[in-house]
Amino acid sequence: MTKLIIFNIESPKKQSLSVPWSNVQH
């Protein structure tokens, strides 16, 4: 879960990708 937060902060532009990424995460 922390990875998602860091990813969002590091790549705010990829926020759109963060949404599907969370769903894809097993």
**pLDDT tens readout for residues 1-26:** 567 666 666 666 655 555 665 566 65
Q: Which two tokens stand for residue 19?
A: 């949404």
pLDDT of residue 12: 60
Number of residues that this document lists for the chain:
26
3-state percent breakdown (helix, strand, coil) of the chain, nearest 5: 85, 0, 15
pLDDT of residue 1: 56
Query: What predicted TM-score, i.e. pTM, was given to this entire model?
Result: 0.18
Q: Residue 4 and residue 22: Cα distance in Å, rounded?
A: 8
